[in-house]
Amino acid sequence: MKIGIDAGGTLVKVAYRGSDNIGYQTFPSQDIDDAVSWLYDTFENPTVCITGGKSQLLAEKLMAPAKTLVEFDATNRGIQFLAGQQRHSFENNFMFVNVGTGTSIHHVNEGEQQRIGGSGIGGGTLMGLAYLLTGVEDYARMVKLASNGDRGNVDLKVKDIFEGALPPISGDLTASNFGKKESMLAYNPSASDILASIIGMIGEVIVTISSQMAAQYNVGSIVYIGSSFLSNPLLRDIIEEYTKLAGKEPVFLEKGEYCGALGSLLSLD
């Protein structure tokens, strides 16, 4: 059995070949020992390839030597595979943005990837700010609450500044994340409102950086992947909307959070 593992800062993602398809499994990185136990309880003498920031830590826990692969190359290979399966057609020149614990931005030209930038804003930011501002620690509860939130109770929009006058840009754009202080004083925002605004800020920052780099590299399509999109339609919707406003085509791959693990698996073929 061949196994590809992406041992990241937040999640350990596994891709493996089943009888007639590819199977996937995820573990919190803090439970890396559980991932190892599952691996050997499920498969006999597996051949393993590992990528990701915690690949060395994971490799030391395995019973046999494992192949390792540079994370960015593994991710690019997984993207190309999934894009082909899901019939997404990019030009030979595109970008991918991996929104995991942080965000990493890559330019792909003629199949070869190059990391061109990134940001400390990502899923780790959501987890940390959500805890600090609302006390919510569980990711699933976080995104569920955010789906019912009203960012208008926290974020200052362009139309709020122009107060009825016709603004030169869309009035629904965010003028200042968490900038609606007067409203906060009059109406205590709920945890849902705050969480929705955190996700909104993260999405807008990621698109701002990514779209500027896409313009610099003359890229039309931006592929967004990463564990931060897991069960998080609000983040996806915000990134999709703002990417289109920037004149670029957003692409989301099903199982995109497993691209690193998938690329590692494919390297064993």
Q: State the catalytic residues.
A: 71
d(CA 238, CA 253): 16
Cβ atoms < 10 Å from Cβ of 50:
26
Q: What are phi and psi of 169, to 5 degrees?
A: -130, 175
Q: At what angle do helices 191-216 and 233-245 cross, to 10 degrees?
A: 40
With residue 72 as reference, give the H or E element that holds it. helix 71-85
Q: Exposure string (b/e) for 74-102, b if CB count within 10 Å is 16 or more?
A: bbbbbbbbbbeeeeeebeeebbbbbbbbb
d(CA 146, CA 199): 8
Q: Are strands 112-119 and 221-225 parallel, antiparallel or unpaired?
A: unpaired
Q: Dump the DSSP string for 215-249.
A: HHTT--EEEEESGGGTT-HHHHHHHHHHHHHTT-E
Give yes or no for a contact between 220 and 236, defined as CB atoms under 8 angstroms apart.
no
